[in-house]
Amino acid sequence: MSGKQICQYCNRVLTSGTVHEFDGVIMCEDCLDEHTVVCERCGERVWEDDVVTDDDYTLCQGCYDDYYTRCEECNAIISNDDACYDDDDVPYCERCYDRCCCGAIHEYGYKPEPIFYGAGNRFFGVELEIDGAGKDGYNAEKILDAANDNDERIYIKSDGSLDDGMEIVTHPMSLDYHMNEMPWVEVSDRALDMRYRSHNTGTCGLHIHVNRTTFGEERETQDECISRILYFVEHHWEELLKFSRRTESQMNRWAAR
Ligand SMILES: [Zn+2]
Ligand SMILES: [Zn+2]
Ligand SMILES: [Zn+2]
C-alpha cells in the first residue's frame, strides 16, 4: 500500500490496520459502523440508506423482498412464515391480526357480490363512516352481530379518510327494507355505546348508492333522469351545501362541483 490513506468521511489519517473499504470508499472503523450495517439474514454489508429496518429487524433489500413483508396495520417487518393473511390476502403481524382482523374488517377496496334485500326496482346501498373509537376487530364484530344473523346485510371496511374508525356498508336494500327491516337502531346504538361518532366529526360521511335501473329501463331514459338530477344539484347548490353539513372546503375535497 503506497502513501497515507485517509477516511473519506472524517479525514482521519489511517494506519495500515485501521483501513476499511466498502463499496469503493475508504473509511475508518467508526465511520464504517456509522454509515453501513450488516444484514442479519445473509450477513452482507450495505449502506445505512439501503437497509430495511424496524425495531426488530435489520435487513438488506434483497432479503426483505424474498423473505419478509410488513404488517398493514403497525408496519412492523414480519417474516413471510409469521405473517397472518386476511380474506383479501393483506398481511398482518400476529398481534394486529388478533386485535383488528379476524376477517371482520375488510380493506377499502372490498366489494362483495351484492345481495338485494326488499322488493321493487330501487335499491339503496348505504355507507356510514364512524370514527373515534378504533379500527378494531372486536368492535366491528359487535356491530356486525347487530345486523347479520344468517344473512350478511352489512359488512365493514377500513377507510383511510378516518382518524380512528371504519365504514359500515349495507348491501343494496329497498327504502322500505331500510326503514322497517334493517336494524339501524341496534347498529347505531352499539356503535354509540362503544363511543363511535359519525355526526359532527368533521371526518365522517354518509354515502348512498342507487342502482342505475331505478331511473328507467333504457340507457336514454336513465341519462335523461340523471341529467335532471344534475340540474337540480346545480340549481340548489347553496341549499344542498347546507343540507350536506359540509364546509365549502370539505365539499371541494370530497364532492367537488
Ligand atoms: Zn472516519
Ligand atoms: Zn440480506
Ligand atoms: Zn402489526
pLDDT band, very low/low/confident/very high, at 68 (cuts 50, 70, 90): very high
Domain residue spans in the chain?
Answer: 5-38, 50-101, 124-254
Going from the Cα of 84 to the center of ligand 3, the distance in angstroms, rounded, reads 10
Task: Using alpha carbons only, give the angle 93, 94, 100 rounded to the nearest 5 degrees.
Answer: 85
Q: Which fold has domain 50-101?
A: Cysteine Rich Protein (2.10.110)
Ligand nearest to the CA of 66: 2
pLDDT at residue 104 in the model: 83
Of all ligands present, the nearest one to the C-alpha of 96 is 3
Rounded distance from Cα 83 to ligand 3 centre (Å): 9
CA of 89 to the centre of ligand 1 (A): 46
Ligand nearest to the CA of 94: 3
- For residue 124, pLDDT over 90 is answered with yes
Which tens digit of pLDDT belongs to each residue from 217-249? 999 999 999 999 999 999 999 999 888 888 888
Q: Does the pLDDT of residue 257 top 90, yes or no? A: no
Q: Which ligand minimizes its atom distance to the CA of 34? A: 1
Interval 17-22 mean pLDDT = 92
- Identify the nearest ligand to the CA of 71 by its number: 3
* Mean pLDDT (whole number) for 50-79: 95
Q: What's the 44 CA to ligand 3 centre distance in angstroms?
A: 27
Ligand closest to Cα of 38 equals: 2
Cell triple for residue 180? 322497517
Q: Percent of the chain beyond pLDDT 90? A: 66
From ligand 3's centre to the CA of 76, what distance in Å?
6
The CA 142 to ligand 3 mean position distance, Å, reads 22
Give the ligand whose atoms come closest to the C-alpha of residue 68. Answer: 2
The pLDDT of residue 102 is above 70: no
- Tell me the pLDDT of the chain averaged across its residues: 90
Q: Residue 2 pLDDT > 60, yes or no? A: no
CA of 77 to the centre of ligand 3 (A): 8
Secondary structure of the chain in the HEC alphabet?
A: CCCCEECCCCCCEECHHHCEEECCEEECHHHHHHHEEECCCCCCEEEHHHCEECCCCEECHHHHHHHEEECCCCCCEEECCCCEECCCCCEECHHHHHHHHCCCEECCCCCCCCCCECCCCCCEEEEEEEECCCCCHHHHHHHHHHHCCCCCCEEEECCCCCCCCEEEEECCECHHHHHHCCCHHHHHHHHHHCCCECCCCCCCCEEEEECHHHHCCCHHHHHHHHHHHHHHHHHCHHHHHHHHCCCHHHHHHHCCC
Tell me the CA–centroid distance for residue 170 and ligand 3, in Å. Answer: 28
Which residue would you say has higher pLDDT here, 100 or 177? 177
Residue 30's pLDDT band, with cuts at 50, 70 and 90, is very high
Give me ligand 2 centre to Cα 47, in Å: 12
Reported confidence tier of residue 3, pLDDT bands at 50, 70, 90: low
What's the pTM?
Answer: 0.62
Distance 100 CA to ligand 3 centre (A): 9
Q: Which residue has the higher pLDDT, 167 or 254?
A: 167
